[in-house]
Every structure is written in C-alpha cells, then in structure tokens.
Amino acid sequence: MPDAPSTGEQTAGERPTDAVVLATGAGGDRSVVAGPPAREAVELSHALFERSPVAVVLAGYPNEPAVNAELGRAAAAAVGLHVPLLVLEPGPAGLAPVLDELHRLGADTVLGYGDAAADWTGITATRDLLAGPLSPEAFSADLGLTVREQVVPAADLVTAVSALTADDLAVVAIAGSGGGPSEASEDDAASVAPSAAPSAQSGGTDPATGPTTEADAGTGAATDGGTDEAAEGPHDLASLATLDELPAFTAPEGSAAALVLATAASSPTSIATARAAGAQVEVLPTGDPRATAAAVSAVHRNVGAPVYGIGADFGSTEDFAAHAAVAATGVELPGGGQTVFPGRRMVALYGHPSGPYLGALGEQDVDATMARVKDLAAEYQPFSDEPVVPALDLIATVASADPGPDGDYSSETPVEVLEPWVDAAEKAGVYVVLDFQSGRTDFLSQVRRYEELLARPSVGLALDPEWRLMPGQLPLQQIGTVDAAEINASSAWLADLTRDRNLPQKLFMVHQFRLDMIGDRAALDTSRSELAVTLHADGHGTPGQKLDTWAALQGSMPAGVWPSWKNFYDEDQPMLGPEETYALVDPKPWLVTYQ
C-alpha cells in the first residue's frame, strides 16, 4: 500500500515539487464558472490549485449513467487526496484542455476513472496512469482512504458531494442508478487496481454500470456478467495503467480561502474539486447569493476571499459580482436573505400617518400599528409555506382636490413626517413600501424627492396609476392612467439606486384594478434583478367581482411579475379572511394589503 499523503510544514521556498499547493486567489474575485463540465473543471482547478503532482481524471460525459457510477468514486478520491478532479470529454477536442491543466499543475500522475476507450494514451504519453480503485477495500489498499457508501436522490447529489471531507469520505451514488462501492465486485476492483487486497466478494457484472455492451467497452465484445469480460467496462483501465500504486506526495497546507456557491444543477465534479481544496461550499436554492440568509452570511463571512458561482444558474459574472457585493454587506430583509420573493410573503397595512380616512395604517399610532400588522401577518402564517412578513404600504404623496403651490394636485408628505414610521418599522422587522399618488406630475419627479428613505435597505416603492392625472383632469372625477414607459423610468431609477448602493432587492409595486390603467402593460420592464416587481389588484367589491378582476389581470400578466392583492375592511362585501384569501385567490398572492 502506498504512503498516505502527508501534511508537512514547509515554507514557500522549501516546498518540494511533490507537494500540492493551493492558489492564492484575489480577494475581490467574484466569478461565474459555467460551461460544459470539462471546462468548468479546468477553470476551478486553475482558480484553486497552484500545483498538484497528482490529479484525478474522469473520462466521459458526467451525465451518462455509466460515468455517473464512476463519478462518486472519482469525487471521493479527489477529496480524500486533496487534488483536483478533471473531466476528459470524448472526442479529439477533449484532450487538449486536460493536458494543458495537467501541465500547469505539474501533475506527473493521473488517477483514472471512466471510459477506458477515451484517449488515455494521450495522457500517458508524458505521465503515469493509475487505475482508480472501485471497492472500499481497494480505496484503503491503494490510496490509504477510508470510504463509506452513500445513496442519494439525483436532486441531492451536489449537496452530498459538497459535504465530503477527507475525514468523512463517501462514495456518493444516485438512487436507482446502480452505483455504490459495495456493488463493485472484487474481480472488478482487482482488474482495475492490481494491488488491492483479496476480498470475500464474488465476481460478476458490475452493478455500478450494468452489463457491459460493445458500445460501453469499446472492445468489440458484449458480455452478460459473471465472466472476466464483465470487468472490461468503462472503468477497465488496468491494461492501460503504468503504475500499480500511488506515489507519495505532500497534501496542501491549510484550506483554500475561497467560497464556492452551487445549485442542484451545478457540476458535481467541480464541487468535488472545491472540496478537495478545502473551499467552503454553499448549495443555494437559486443562483443568487442574495437568496437565503445562509448564503448572505457565507459571503459576508468570506468578504475578503474569492467567491465563485458554479453553473449557468448564476447568470453573468457582472450580475453575480453585483449580487455578491450586496451579500457581502450582510444586511438582510425582514424574514432573512436579500431577495424579496419567493423567500417570503408579505401582509401590509395601507394608509397615511395623518389619520384613518386614508386607510388602516392611520387608525392608531406608530407602535400600535407595528403590533397590529405583526398580528395580522401571523394570522396568515398557518396557511403559507413561506415566512409571512409584516409590512406597511405607507402613502408618501396624496392626490389632492387642490392644485397646491406646485399645481400638481398632489400633496407631498415631508420626509421628516415619514421617517419615524420607517425607523420604527426597521426596529420592528417590518418592511415598508412608499406609495405615490402623483397627480398631474410624473412619478419619477416625486420619487426622487424621497431618495433618502428609498435608500434604506427595507424600503420599497409603489406607484398608483389611479391618481396619475393628465392635464385638465381632477382627482375622483376619473380613473387615472400611466404608460409603461413612465413606470419603467421610475423602476430603472430605483434599480440603479439599489445597485449603486449595494442594497438588498427592493419591492416595486404598481397598483391596478382595470387593464386600461396601464398603457402598453406588456412593455413593463421586469428584467432588473435589483427589483421584485408586483402588480397589485387593489379594487374593492364582492368576492366574486374581485376574483373576476383578478382573473382578467392575471390573463395578460407580463412575465416576471409577482401578483398581489388588497382587502378592504369597509368596502369589501364581505372581506375575505386570511385562509380564504390564500385559498380562493389563485395564484396565491405574494403580498396582501389591508385598507
């Protein structure tokens, strides 16, 4: 049995050429590593490893069943040995990037897994090949590693690989795929790893890959198990191996100072390389480092380290870097995380601090309002899988029957009047949406006046087209309208403010109870990841009338919109309760306001 990797204490100038050396990444690096598994594997190896005398290479496409069976073994070997895992894709173009990375690493030895028909001769032309062990006994004998088997659903594969450590090493197999180390026969293990110790296991077809076919083996012989040919499947590398034991080498000192973010769709081979380097791995429900409290906390803790997103779910490097910069602040929204939906639902009181005539928010003082909206949100929680967060729909400008000094028929509430409410909401864990009734002026002209409040992390923006008047129109004499272009001007300004100040995602709400209130509604811009856009059905009436309006609004809803709903204490006939609101309103509203 070869010597297990040691962890000697050398200074940088004394490190031998047989030592694994981790890369020192730039602390400000925020990058997406995405593409075919082979390219991802090379990019992450380059990011995390400066040198490695040994590398694990998996030949084949990792999504093929036969290769999936090998993937768990290759990942366990890489993590246990603290070396990179590279992917050798089929075809002439697959070899060059692997050879380039092996050369950069200074890798003289390759531990091979996967398709024996791959271009292994291209690798062994300049370096040695050791066939990867299959069984737990062979892992122990050949690599000095203790492994256990772990079978998981396909959706949990990345999470399972992300949990691997050299001290708790598992060969992860997908449930139903026929993989797992205990299923590899000792004849198979011995044919791949001649130095493996004898075992009581009997020979036979390797259930990790199933009966080998001519296409699998690349040898021209079809087999049905129980014979020597059964071992000539995708992992029969013994005949190509130039070594029968792993040369001794020195494991890396410490762990990679990097954070790797993944989703269930990320490549498990890349995640294995990250764990081999000792990098912290966080598996997220979506490709957004702002999405969960755990992700925000991880980025915040690693603010001085490189952060990598693995896979296409993380979008462009530009967007990922912006989202990671927000996560690095550690500032979270009420309910946790930094994205508004789908991580929570909201229940809000609507109104103005001046009194009850504009809504339920003004029926009590600040402290009583906070207590009331918290109780109201709690009534919804039994009927929601997501946390239900209390909120205020706080009117900032009120449409007026008088033109006022500026002639816009809208009364702008001074910031100092609203500020105590925003302060109290922040302290109480209540989200705030500033609501605008702009009269005869455009929304953005008014919104800009409240930049000081909108720059708060848990303050969003609402526009009410009902009160957006054209020249010659007066409040309460007609229903106002606004074009999508004017709405988009406000949303773009808010998105820019959010990005420039590294703020959590903001709720951007537009009220609507008639289709003609918003001109060219299909042109609403929902593309900015800094905003969660919701169209708010704020009409009153009987449940049947309101549900008909809801259905009409949903029928032509622009993509990327989170629908929301309003209940009226006095005008609804009758008002729906929390259970009815969530059960009858379909789709279930993400925000419910009360007036």
Helix axes 95-105, 37-48, angle to 10 degrees: 10
Rounded distance between C-alpha atoms, residue 292 and residue 299, angstroms = 11
Taken in order 77, 41, 253, 242, the sign of the CA dihedral is positive
Instruction: Say if CB 275 and CB 299 are below 8 A apart.
Output: no
Rounded distance between C-alpha atoms, residue 81 and residue 19, angstroms = 12
Report phi then psi at 448, rounded to 5. Answer: -60, -30
pLDDT at 67: 67
CA angle at 374 for the pair 369 and 375, rounded to the nearest 5°: 100
How do the pLDDT tens digits run along the chain, 595 residues long? 344 444 333 344 444 579 999 998 777 899 999 999 999 999 999 999 999 999 999 998 766 666 677 999 999 999 999 999 999 998 889 999 999 999 999 999 999 999 999 999 999 999 999 999 999 999 999 999 999 999 999 999 999 999 999 999 999 999 876 555 554 433 333 333 332 222 222 233 232 333 233 333 333 333 333 333 333 344 578 889 999 999 999 999 999 999 999 999 999 999 999 999 999 999 999 999 999 999 999 999 999 999 999 999 999 999 999 999 999 999 999 999 999 999 999 999 999 999 999 999 999 999 999 999 999 999 999 999 999 999 999 999 999 888 888 888 899 999 999 999 999 999 999 999 999 998 889 999 999 999 999 999 999 999 999 888 887 777 767 787 899 999 999 999 999 999 999 999 999 999 998 888 898 999 999 999 999 999 999 889 999 999 999 999 998 889 999 999 999 999 999 999 999 999 999 999 999 999 9
- Burial pattern 456-486, b for ≥16 Cβ within 10 A else e, equals bbbbbbbbbbbbbbeeeeebeeeebbbebeb
Q: How many CA atoms lie within 13 A of 426 on its CB side?
A: 16
End-to-end C-alpha distance for the chain, whole angstroms: 76
Rounded distance between C-alpha atoms, residue 511 and residue 399, angstroms = 15
SS3 at position 137:
helix
* Complete DSSP assignment for 526-538: ---TTEEEEEEE-
For 345-594, CATH gives 3.20.20
Q: Does the bond joining 587 to the residue before it have cis omega, within 30 degrees of 0?
A: yes
User: Strand locations in 329-373, DSSP E?
Assistant: 345-351
pLDDT at 217: 31
pLDDT at 179: 54
- The strand order across the sheet containing 128-131 reads 85-88, 54-59, 109-114, 128-131
SS3 at position 492:
helix
Rounded distance between C-alpha atoms, residue 272 and residue 14, angstroms = 28
pLDDT at 470: 80
Rounded distance between C-alpha atoms, residue 211 and residue 234, angstroms = 11
Instruction: Say if CB 561 and CB 590 are below 8 A apart.
Output: no
pTM for this entry: 0.84
pLDDT at 86: 97
Q: Does the bond joining 589 to the residue before it have cis omega, within 30 degrees of 0?
A: no
Where are the domain boundaries for CATH 3.20.20 in the chain?
345-594
> Position of tokens 């290759």?
74
Taken in order 194, 196, 200, 205, the sign of the CA dihedral is negative
Rounded to 10 degrees, what is the CA torsion of 428, 429, 430, 436? Answer: 100
Q: Could you tell me which of 451, 437, 549 has the C-alpha nearest to residue 497?
A: 451
Rounded distance between C-alpha atoms, residue 217 and residue 214, angstroms = 5
